[in-house]
Amino acid sequence: MVVFFKYAKQEVDDAAHFYEMEFTALGQSFKEEAKKAVSRIVQYPAAWPVERGDIRKCMLHKFPYNLLYSVEEQHIVIIAVAHQHRKPDYWIDR
């Protein structure tokens, strides 16, 4: 099971909204790419590098975003959906 922190879910929605305003259907493409990344994380949770402590980072393929996540006993927690070039460590206090 995958759980999104409230702020991570908002970050997906905000990024999708931004991309949708740039080009029609680009926001939906962003959400689909994020879903694919979540599927890869579920399938191979230890495949991505450790960013800090027990937090791992999975990069999206078509967009400059990372999914920062933690593998817990019963679920995977998506902590942040972070742009790769903006405020790199803003999510640490989550």
10 pLDDT higher than 70: yes
Provide the percentage of residues in the chain whose pLDDT is more than 90.
88
| C-alpha distances out from residue 89 to 20, 31, 75, 78, 82, Å | 26, 23, 23, 15, 9
As a whole number, mean pLDDT of residues 42-71 equals 96
Query: What pTM was estimated for this model as a whole?
Result: 0.88
The whole-angstrom separation of Cα 19 and Cα 14 is 9
Query: What type of residue is 78?
Result: I
Q: Delineate the domains of the chain, giving CATH numbers in brackets.
A: 2-83 (3.30.2310.20)
Q: What is the pLDDT of residue 15?
A: 97
The whole-angstrom separation of Cα 75 and Cα 60 is 21
The whole-angstrom separation of Cα 26 and Cα 93 is 30
86 pLDDT higher than 90: no
